[in-house]
Structure 1
Amino acid sequence: MSVLIVTSVGDIEVDLHTDRCALTTKNFLKLCKMKYYNGCLFHKVEKDFLAQTGDPTGTGTGGDSVYKFLYGDQARFFDDEIRPELRHSKTGTVAMASAGENCNASQFYITLRDDVDYLDDKHTVFGMVAEGFDTLTKINEAYVDDNGRPFKDIRIKHTYVLDDPFDDPPQLAELIPENSPTGKPRDEVAEERLEDTWVPLDQTVAPEELEEMIRSKEAHTNAVILESLADIPDAEVKPPDNVLFVCKLNPVTQDEDLYTIFSRFGTVTSAEIIRDYKTGDSLCYAFIEFDTKEACERAYFKMDNCLIDDRRIHVDFSQSVSKLWGQFRQSKRNAKKDGCFKCGAPDHLARDCDQDGEQKNKGPSYVLKDENTQRGGNHRRSYDLVFDEDEADCSEERDHENGHRRKNRRIDDRKSELPPRGGRDRNSHERTHSDEKGSKHGKDDRNRGDRKHDDYHSYSRSGDRSSGRNDDRDYSKRHDRSRSGEEEKGYRRRDKSDGERHHRDDGYDRRRRDEDSHRKRSPDSKHRREDGGHHVRNQQSDDRSYKERRHRDGR
């Protein structure tokens, strides 16, 4: 009439009140024989109150009685067996956790202190803990969350029936497994916590080893922080073991002094005093690199607290990794020589990779598209990115479209009886150039205020335009390329003569202005004003003669 409950924190032996609570104790004994409680969590632990278990789901809302397995779903719950003499007066009282009146199934609880009178006459008390109070103390001291669930799982490992006064029903033999189940129940849906097999390090490791492990984890945490701040290249990087850090130096100490002093311990690769980058003053610390690790260790033990230039220096192994940035920029994989970090191939290194050469020979990965199909294909030339695999597929199509477009352009030129495209562009450029020169001359003449001179230049410009149009019609009729060369020479001569006329006009205007200023300053200017009419007529005749001479020169 007793049961041994093996938990993850110890064993508990329970004596049952089979004579007073026959229905309840029979349910408990047969469920223990079925190994129904194996793996069940103590899903609720209230300190100095109670510890509840017996739910395979681990949530506190599940569980079935043995009568459901024997007689069906209608027998899932059974009635209460509350006895006035059975009270929650002592620690270790075992009672059923019901969902309500006459709703007992498989869940039960164990009280963790005396005189829990609040639960009297509400739940069926069917047993008492006989041994295993130390186990109850461990359960009571477990760390739990706000819902009373322990952060570290406490489970029932096995249940052993020591004495059973009730006969087994015939159907029970089929429900008893051959081997006792282990691990979590199949129906468990509770949130995962620390497993019951987890043991803190302080219980398995020596104090010195535990302290070393804690220091190592703290150092790694600090390294990760420094890596995130871009202070070190990698969290796993280690400083070189052949470099010493020397501080508390005298500002007058030089690199050569340190090199000479530390050379007696071995070959010194470099001795560098760190200085201010603006003023060049010593910052009173230095790094000394040795050829071997052994020489570095000898210098460390011998030179610490030595006197150099009336200063006692401090020597330690260097923790700086500033010179290792270049090694770790390419990645740790390349440093370990386990493949190429450029292309990812494991059969060669990055320095032997031909990917760069192939990319240069291959050229850019974009091509010129004649049609921007993304915007309706309106035959406008535009740049668009094309992947390399698409370039080979569409190259023939682009060549065909370009050839067809050039053919259509030649046919349109023949129909319009125009010269080739290059000749038309050159002729239009020459006409534009000639018109610009003529308009410039016309502007200069208008500044002088001579209307007849402006009319003459406008006549010249109209003649140039008409001659240019006649030349275009001659081109369209004869289709002769040699004709375009001769017309180009004619245009050049005409531009040259226009430039000479412009130069003479500028000289004549300058002489006119000088003469006017001289007449204004002369004493007989009054007499000339009186004869102004006669002078104006003479001047107009001079202008007319000058224009005739210039017209003859131009022809």
Structure 2
Amino acid sequence: MSVLLETSAGDVTIDLLVKDAPKCCENFVKLCKIKYYNYSPVYNVQQNFSFQTGDPIGPESKDSDGGSSIWAMPNSATKRATRPESMAFKPEFAAKRKHNERGTVSMATSQSKTNPDDRLASSQFIITLGENIEQLDGKAAIFGEVAEGFDALEKINTAFVDSSGRPLQDIRILHTIVLDDPFDDPPGLIEPPSSPVPSAEQRATVRIAHDEVLAQQDDPEQMEKLRREREARAQALTLELIGDLPFADVTPPEQILFVCKLNPVTRDEDLELIFSRFGKILSCEVIRDKKTGDSLQYAFIEFGSKEDCERAYFKMQGVLIDDHRIHVDFSQSVSKLSNEWRGNTNSKTARSRGGFGGFDDLEKRKQYRGGDAGNARGDDYGYVFDKDRQRSGKDGNGVRDRKRDYERDRDITRRRSRSRSPPRRRERHDRERDDRRQRSRERDRDQRDQRSRR
């Protein structure tokens, strides 16, 4: 027994497990027969896990009742149940059936309000998008498996979704076709002569229609502009994270002019004199190499007002200065703002907190040989003979007797040298050890020869 679902992502054929879950299969087949699932949205898509559908209006709509079983006799046009007391039923859970395969179809269930041990189902069903989905075992009642249409499942699996799992562009069940129906129709079931049109409640839930063609941006210049904007935002965010920018959306000042293609001989004073006719200049700096001091042939000029800067931009484009035609543009650099921000931040921190580096509980590290380290640790480094020196190595005024220390160290060195064995004695000891080893080897060899002759 099979059912064909025609979805906006492709056709999906479902084989039903009538022997394992007859009640679930009957409910699903009869709902498909009365076209109850037509225009139902696919929602709660979890990549490589599962997706859920079966609510004809959609759970996000205030008009949705969550769906009803076939025994509640829902109207195929309005999707409303005529017998609300029978909207839910108790599904079968086959112990041998698990959500191990991709494309497993099962009824979504919820806990019964009257008996917490029972679970109830209505019309919503789940199709797995991955393998070994153990989280659904015992919570979703398996009644079928996908036989054809795994390409449609892959489209649903890779669809762009929002935070709630709903696809940004609608994916809907368009038609349902029952290929084989072994069940008798419940009393009062009415099969519509044709597929009903979507109701007003269903049309209200459309976000981006499934058949709407989204305009694609094919202009290479526009695409390149978007790429550069995204790259610039990413770089600005990186600079903010590492502390080079106060915030990623910082904008350059509007009264600073960028001048390039300068003659290497052009000086700061020359530019300031030429550009001063447009208004007050706060600073004028030709950028130079830090090591050689040679001009890098570009400069930044900061005016007192934005209007003066704009007037200079329009008037000085392509002007000849020192036999070079300059290029003028508005500055895009924020390095000066960043330097001022870091300086102000550090100075405020230092003034408010005090201490070394702005922290009261930090001290400058004391080195053994530097500053007043001798007062804190003594004049010695902690060798084993420092205690003797401290007891007798200073005169009455606290001044060390260096001659006495030298003689004491020399005596210690002599005593250590006398305690060592003379070189000749060591050589004789080595020869005796070698002789003992040789005799031992010869004795072992004789014993082996005697054993072999026996």
TM bucket normalised to smaller: 0.3 to 0.5
- Greater percentage in helix: 1
Higher RCO, 1 vs 2 (CA within 8 Å, ≥6 residues apart): 2
TM-score w.r.t. the length of structure 1 is 0.39
Q: Which has the larger radius of gyration?
A: 1
- Greater percentage in strand: 2
